[in-house]
RNA sequence: GGGUGAGUAGUCCAAUUGGUAGAGACAAAGGACUUAAAAUCCUUCCAGUGAGGGUUCGAGUCCCUCCUCACCUACCA
């Protein structure tokens, strides 16, 4: 046979064939186990980037592998298709967010098709379509009725020119990103999800996530930020209106060391004082003008204002001043702190600055550590910190001033967005009935397909047809809620909907039971906190609304967080970033292809638009075909590590494709030979060695796939391929039969990574069924064992000799030959000990 | 400041989980083929595992200290 490798032809051919034969429809075979393989669905920006490429290739390898291993595999894809970019694009192009989004979906779907991914497209969903979001509206109403959704006043970033609410990332240096107007802080009525109600469960269940990366679990834990402490009230002197100040502390043991209190600038006490105290008002204003960016916070000086109010120590009755302090957060705890300068670094700095007393109450060298015995603490003297915490809490509880509590950093989730392109919140504002949910049978509250997006503020609010309705309760004229939902809501349950995308109900309980939890969820580390936390929350909330089975506590069994795709960036003398496609190498230096200018090379960093260091996957496919690109993506780096993109590595994979192709197409050996010899039927060393390589490769590839060590499977297949390439038509018949067996095996093993070339070769070898319907090869145990091993002989841990011995060598015999081999090295020494590791080595300890 | 992870040939990466540091690839050099080049094939070269200490018969792997880098998080009381 002599046929040239033409990836473009065969890839298109097989993609068409898989589609026509519906090869990746989710199967439901009885007696097969189910496997749910999911990659994070993309935002349809219109273009595939290398991050997607990596994500979906990894997922596809797993899905195809599981399918070959006899699982019913659910491997769906869809679109996270609401969100601001569509509105921005509509504004820019004077077109429609919907049309733009749908066109992008089609464009990206075409790109995905070129990658040769094994999706069940019948389950495709798009969050911007009402057959998806209507169900989200339905359970949102249920959650409202269960108290998991509520409205409250909350601070937002308000752009006074565009008359719109801005997300934090749209505020740049305190100004609106588009209007450039100074952003105002404004209280607005907003919708919230009561995620804090689940804080404890979300925190506890992290321990169930055995197959999640540790660091993601840490991030989740830190984000939830559970702490135990004491919340209690000080009596306040100096005011007729304020009688007490409630504080939260994680260090109740230091209560006796309190010498002042500090409150946030937004604290009611601060506001109270500001009414009559101009200096206090000024100070509060100053605090609020301070930016909230990380840099501002880092550089800001810690400042305070001493108020005329004092707290009364609950045990000693002493009075201490209350300060308004610019570093106290209203959002955490009670917005007020009992300050213990002897044992808290920040309080210490503050006390020194304002000349406040410092009272040490714990012995020991490290004042900020939490160990030691209490001193200067009256009745608590002599207690260890842990005991003292309990004692103080008990004391304060006994006095009726407060109680031991648990506190979380986690805040309730504000989901209101004053924008058009999102899921409408299905509520109506009625003058007489208030906030009323839309009746379920009237869902969906449909987002207008076309809308005047150029109006200031939320376009929905200007759409009379959308806004004006009747009250579901009393029938009177009423107005719809015009807020839409945070897109994180859309992505917090899509994985459930995939199990039953055509169901008339929110979810089909049986299907959810069948497929959930997701067996492997693959995505970028950037979603380690919010998306995963919200998804975990919504899964639990849906369970409590009866939509999912009670036993489904966590949505994702195994989480794979892929690393970023990184590349160096290039800059010319003007500082402009030059894309790698325009860079050539001359004398080891990067130069601009057109101008010839030598470019500055920056360090490796994530491919991004701003650094113009990304490569366009479409170009790669055009040049190398999907199989080579997929292989390179898998081969270059382990899944969870950053992938340093180089064209050279891709070229290497391209060359490998050619060599692999030649195993079938430039050999005289008969590949239709189906005779498979067992290891003990083989005669020569070479035959046995090749047999072993074949079966060891099966084992290695299989084991590595099970461990998600995907880069090494490519290396193993290359090794097998290299070994096979050495076989000649002049070799023995058995050798030639082994060649056929080996090539067949290699094709099967390589299929999850490079599905097109393997299908083609499989067919060319005379097979009539698709590889997608072929079982994974099984390693023959007998062929995994060597009959000879290299026995390493060490003296005092240092390598001295290597001996070829029988694999079944006995301990005594091994030690005997080893000692003989190192006679010279042990001469005149006393042999103290001989260590024997079966099948590996003998270590002689001699002094 | 806190947390997490990672440092192995010139480069990307392996190493049976405490047992010969090298599987695979890139790059480089030489050779074969070619009128020539590309492609292809063959051959060769290169580290003692970031530094130091410890445990052990034996450490890339475990423990401690330090350095560098990356990511996350941050006035969280």
Parallel/antiparallel/unpaired status of strands A556-562 and A184-193: unpaired
Q: Give the tens place of pLDDT for each residue, A9-20.
A: 999 999 999 999
Asked whether residue A524, judged by its CB, lies under 7 Å from any atom of the DNA or RNA strand B, the reply is no
**Which pLDDT belongs to residue A814?**
87
pLDDT band with cut points at 50, 70 and 90 for residue A329:
confident
Which nucleotide is nearest to A287 if distance is taken from CA to C1'?
B75
Which nucleotide is nearest to A335 if distance is taken from CA to C1'?
B77
How many other C-beta atoms are found inside a 10 Å radius of the C-beta of residue A408? 17
Instruction: Say if CB A536 and CB A572 are below 8 A apart.
Output: no
What's the token pair of residue A580?
């790698």
Q: Which nucleotides of B are covered by protein (CB under 7 A)?
A: 2-5, 11-16, 19-21, 23-27, 39-42, 57-59, 70-77
Asked whether residue A338, judged by its CB, lies under 7 Å from any atom of the DNA or RNA strand B, the reply is yes
Which nucleotide is nearest to A336 if distance is taken from CA to C1'?
B77
Helix (H, G, I), strand (E, B) or coil at A344: coil
Q: Is the pLDDT of residue A206 over 50?
A: yes
**Which pLDDT belongs to residue A485?**
94
Instruction: Say if CB A152 and CB A189 are below 8 A apart.
Output: yes
pLDDT band with cut points at 50, 70 and 90 for residue A172:
low
How many other C-beta atoms are found inside a 10 Å radius of the C-beta of residue A712? 17
Q: What is the DSSP letter of A157?
A: E
Q: Give the tens place of pLDDT for each residue, A644-702.
A: 888 888 999 999 999 999 999 888 888 888 889 999 999 988 899 999 999 999 999 99
Asked whether residue A801, judged by its CB, lies under 7 Å from any atom of the DNA or RNA strand B, the reply is no
Instruction: Say if CB A305 and CB A340 are below 8 A apart.
Output: no
- Burial label for A84, CB within 10 Å (0-12, 13-18, 19+), is middle
Give the number of C-alpha atoms closer than 13 A to the C-alpha of residue A429, restricted to the C-beta side.
12
Q: Is the pLDDT of residue A182 over 80?
A: no
Q: Which residues pair with A584 in a beta bridge?
A: A591
Q: Out of A443-457, A518-532, A798-812, which region has the weakest mean confidence (pLDDT)?
A: A798-812
**Which pLDDT belongs to residue A173?**
64
**Which pLDDT belongs to residue A586?**
67
- Burial label for A512, CB within 10 Å (0-12, 13-18, 19+), is buried
Proportion of chain A above pLDDT 90, given as a percent: 54
Helix (H, G, I), strand (E, B) or coil at A554: coil
What's the token pair of residue A7?
């990836």
Asked whether residue A25, judged by its CB, lies under 7 Å from any atom of the DNA or RNA strand B, the reply is no
Which CB contacts under 8 angstroms, 24+ apart, belong to A395-403?
A: A395/A315, A396/A230, A396/A232, A396/A252, A396/A255, A396/A314, A399/A314, A401/A232, A401/A233, A401/A314, A402/A230, A402/A231, A402/A232, A402/A233, A402/A246, A403/A230, A403/A231, A403/A232
Which CB contacts under 8 angstroms, 24+ apart, belong to A434-440?
A: A435/A151, A435/A481, A436/A471, A436/A472, A436/A473, A436/A478, A437/A141, A437/A144, A437/A145, A437/A472, A438/A137, A438/A141, A438/A472, A439/A472, A440/A138, A440/A141
Instruction: Say if CB A687 and CB A739 are below 8 A apart.
Output: no
Parallel/antiparallel/unpaired status of strands A643-644 and A565-567: parallel
**Which pLDDT belongs to residue A719?**
93
Q: Out of A124-138, A263-277, A579-593, which region has the weakest mean confidence (pLDDT)?
A: A579-593
Identify which has the larger pLDDT, A67 or A453. Answer: A67
What's the token pair of residue A491?
């992505």
Going by C-alpha positions, the residue among A729, A725, A722, A767 that lies closest to residue A748 is A767
Q: Å between A284 CA and B1 C1'?
A: 26
Q: Is the pLDDT of residue A810 over 70?
A: yes
Parallel/antiparallel/unpaired status of strands A484-485 and A402-407: unpaired
Q: How far is it, in rounded angstroms, from Cα A559 to Cα A817?
A: 50
Asked whether residue A228, judged by its CB, lies under 7 Å from any atom of the DNA or RNA strand B, the reply is no
**Which pLDDT belongs to residue A516?**
95
Q: How far is it, in rounded angstroms, from Cα A265 to Cα A441?
A: 48
Parallel/antiparallel/unpaired status of strands A319-325 and A477-480: unpaired
Q: Which residues pair with A356 in a beta bridge?
A: none
Which nucleotide is nearest to A325 if distance is taken from CA to C1'?
B75
Q: Å between A121 CA and B12 C1'?
A: 35
Q: How far is it, in rounded angstroms, from Cα A731 to Cα A710?
A: 34
Q: Give the tens place of pLDDT for each residue, A242-295.
A: 789 999 999 999 999 999 999 998 898 888 888 888 888 888 888 777 654 444
Q: How far is it, in rounded angstroms, from Cα A207 to Cα A214?
A: 10
Q: How far is it, in rounded angstroms, from Cα A205 to Cα A536?
A: 10
**Which pLDDT belongs to residue A471?**
95
Which nucleotide is nearest to A643 if distance is taken from CA to C1'?
B12
Going by C-alpha positions, the residue among A218, A211, A165 that lies closest to residue A189 is A165
Helix (H, G, I), strand (E, B) or coil at A845: strand
What's the token pair of residue A783?
């062929």
From its phi and psi, is residue A507 left (phi > 0), alpha (psi between -120 and 50) or beta?
A: beta
Q: Å between A830 CA and B57 C1'?
A: 14
pLDDT, average across residues A330-359 = 89
pLDDT, average across residues A94-98 = 91
Q: How far is it, in rounded angstroms, from Cα A316 to Cα A278?
A: 33
Q: Which residues pair with A600 in a beta bridge?
A: A571
pLDDT, average across residues A562-583 = 84
Q: How far is it, in rounded angstroms, from Cα A777 to Cα A694?
A: 10
**Which pLDDT belongs to residue A530?**
87
Asked whether residue A131, judged by its CB, lies under 7 Å from any atom of the DNA or RNA strand B, the reply is no
Q: Give the tens place of pLDDT for each residue, A40-95.
A: 999 999 889 899 999 999 999 999 999 999 999 999 999 999 988 898 899 888 88
- Burial label for A497, CB within 10 Å (0-12, 13-18, 19+), is buried
Residue A213: φ, ψ to 5°: -60, 140
Residue nearest to nucleotide B72 (CA to C1'): A219
Helix (H, G, I), strand (E, B) or coil at A439: coil
Q: How many residues does chain A have?
A: 847
Going by C-alpha positions, the residue among A460, A457, A458, A439 that lies closest to residue A449 is A460
Cα separations (Å) of A403 from A248, A249, A315, A837?
10, 11, 15, 61
Report how far apart the first and last C-alpha atoms of chain A are (Å, whole number).
Answer: 65
Element of type H or E holding A589: strand A589-592
Q: Give the tens place of pLDDT for each residue, A418-442.
A: 889 999 999 999 999 999 999 999 9
Cα separations (Å) of A62 from A65, A520, A714, A798, A845?
5, 9, 14, 42, 47
- Burial label for A541, CB within 10 Å (0-12, 13-18, 19+), is buried
Q: Is the pLDDT of residue A170 over 70?
A: no
**Which pLDDT belongs to residue A588?**
63
What is chain A's mean pLDDT, rounded? 89
Parallel/antiparallel/unpaired status of strands A149-159 and A184-193: antiparallel
Which nucleotide is nearest to A247 if distance is taken from CA to C1'?
B77
Proportion of chain A above pLDDT 70, given as a percent: 96
Parallel/antiparallel/unpaired status of strands A71-74 and A33-39: parallel
Instruction: Say if CB A591 and CB A597 are below 8 A apart.
Output: yes
Asked whether residue A686, judged by its CB, lies under 7 Å from any atom of the DNA or RNA strand B, the reply is no
């Amino acid at each position: 046979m002599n046929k040239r490798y033409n990836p473009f032809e065969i890839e298109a051919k097989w993609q068409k064939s898989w589609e026509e034969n519906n090869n990746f429809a989710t199967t439901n075979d009885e007696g097969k186990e189910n496997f749910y393989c999911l990659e994070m669905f993309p935002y349809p920006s219109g273009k595939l980037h290398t991050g997607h490429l990596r994500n979906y290739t990894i997922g596809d390898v797993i899905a195809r592998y599981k399918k070959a291993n006899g699982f019913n595999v659910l491997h769906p894809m869809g679109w996270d298709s609401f969100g601001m970019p569509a509105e921005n694009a509509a504004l820019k192009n004077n077109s429609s967010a919907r049309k733009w989004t749908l066109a992008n979906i089609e464009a990206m779907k075409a790109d995905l098709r070129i990658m040769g991914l094994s999706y069940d497209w019948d389950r495709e969903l798009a969050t911007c379509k009402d057959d998806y979001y209507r169900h989200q509206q339905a359970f949102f109403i249920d959650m409202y009725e269960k108290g998991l959704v509520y409205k409250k006043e909350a601070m937002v970033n308000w752009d006074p020119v565009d008359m719109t609410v801005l997300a934090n990332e749209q505020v740049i240096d305190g100004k609106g990103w588009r209007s450039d107007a100074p952003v105002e802080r404004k209280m607005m009525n907003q919708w919230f999800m009561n995620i804090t109600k689940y804080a404890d469960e979300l925190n506890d269940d992290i321990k169930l996530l055995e197959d999640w990366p540790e660091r993601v679990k840490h991030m989740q834990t830190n984000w939830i930020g559970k702490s135990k402490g004491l919340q209690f009230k000080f009596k306040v002197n100096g005011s007729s209106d304020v009688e007490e100040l409630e504080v939260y502390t994680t260090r109740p043991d230091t209560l006796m060391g309190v010498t002042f209190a500090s409150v946030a600038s937004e604290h009611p006490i601060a506001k109270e004082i500001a009414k009559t105290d101009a200096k206090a008002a000024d100070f509060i204003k100053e605090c609020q003008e301070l930016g909230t960016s990380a840099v501002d916070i880092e550089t800001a000086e810690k400042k305070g204002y001493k108020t005329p109010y004092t707290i009364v120590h609950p045990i000693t009755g002493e009075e201490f001043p209350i300060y308004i302090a610019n570093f106290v957060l209203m959002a955490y705890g009670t917005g007020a702190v009992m300050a213990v300068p002897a044992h808290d670094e920040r309080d210490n700095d503050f006390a020194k600055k304002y000349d406040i007393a410092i009272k040490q109450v714990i012995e020991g060298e490290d004042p900020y550590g939490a160990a030691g015995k209490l001193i200067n603490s009256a009745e608590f003297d002599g207690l260890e910190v842990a005991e003292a915490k309990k004692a103080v809490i008990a004391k304060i509880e006994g006095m009726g001033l407060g109680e031991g509590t648990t506190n979380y950093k986690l805040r309730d989730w504000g989901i209101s967005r004053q924008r058009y392109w999102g899921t409408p919140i299905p509520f109506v504002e009625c003058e007489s009935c208030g906030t009323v949910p839309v009746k379920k049978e009237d869902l969906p509250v449909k987002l207008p397909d076309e809308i005047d997006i150029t109006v200031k503020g939320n376009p929905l609010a200007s759409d009379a047809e959308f806004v004006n309705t009747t009250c579901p309760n009393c029938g009177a004229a009423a107005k719809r809620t015009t807020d839409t939902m945070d897109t994180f809501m859309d992505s917090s349950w899509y994985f459930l909907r995939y199990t039953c995308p055509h169901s008339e109900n929110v979810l089909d309980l049986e299907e959810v039971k069948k497929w959930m939890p997701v067996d492997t969820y693959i995505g970028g580390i950037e979603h380690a906190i919010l998306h995963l936390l919200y998804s975990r929350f919504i899964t639990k909330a849906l369970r409590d609304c009866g939509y999912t089975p009670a036993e489904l506590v966590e949505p994702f069994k195994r989480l794979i967080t892929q690393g970023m795709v990184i590349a160096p960036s290039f800059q010319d003398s003007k500082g402009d970033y030059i894309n790698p496609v325009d860079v050539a190498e001359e004398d080891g230096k990067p130069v601009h292809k057109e101008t010839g200018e030598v470019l500055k090379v920056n360090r490796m960093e994530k491919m991004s638009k701003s650094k113009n260091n990304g490569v366009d996957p479409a170009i790669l496919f055009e040049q190398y075909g999907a199989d080579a690109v997929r292989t390179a993506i898998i081969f270059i780096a382990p899944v969870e590590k950053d992938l340093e993109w180089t064209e050279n590595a891709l070229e290497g994979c391209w060359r490998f494709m050619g060599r692999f192709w030649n195993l079938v197409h430039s050999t005289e050996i008969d590949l239709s030979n189906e005779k498979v010899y067992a290891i003990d039927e083989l005669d020569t060393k070479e035959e046995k060695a090749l047999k072993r390589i074949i079966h060891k490769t099966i084992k290695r590839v299989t084991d590595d796939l099970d461990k998600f060590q995907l880069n090494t499977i490519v290396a193993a297949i290359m090794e097998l391929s290299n070994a096979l390439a050495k076989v000649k038509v002049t070799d023995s018949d058995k050798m030639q039969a082994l060649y056929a067996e080996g090539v067949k095996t290699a094709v099967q093993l390589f299929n999850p990574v490079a599905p097109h070339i393997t299908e083609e070769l499989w067919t060319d070898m005379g097979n009539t069924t698709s590889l997608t319907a072929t079982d994974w090869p099984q390693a023959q145990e007998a062929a995994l064992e060597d009959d000879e091993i290299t026995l390493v002989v060490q003296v005092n841990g240092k390598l001295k000799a290597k001996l070829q011995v029988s694999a079944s060598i006995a301990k005594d015999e091994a030690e005997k030959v080893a000692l003989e081999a190192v006679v010279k090295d042990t001469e005149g020494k006393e042999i103290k000990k001989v260590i024997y590791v079966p099948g590996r080595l003998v270590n002689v300890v001699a002094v």
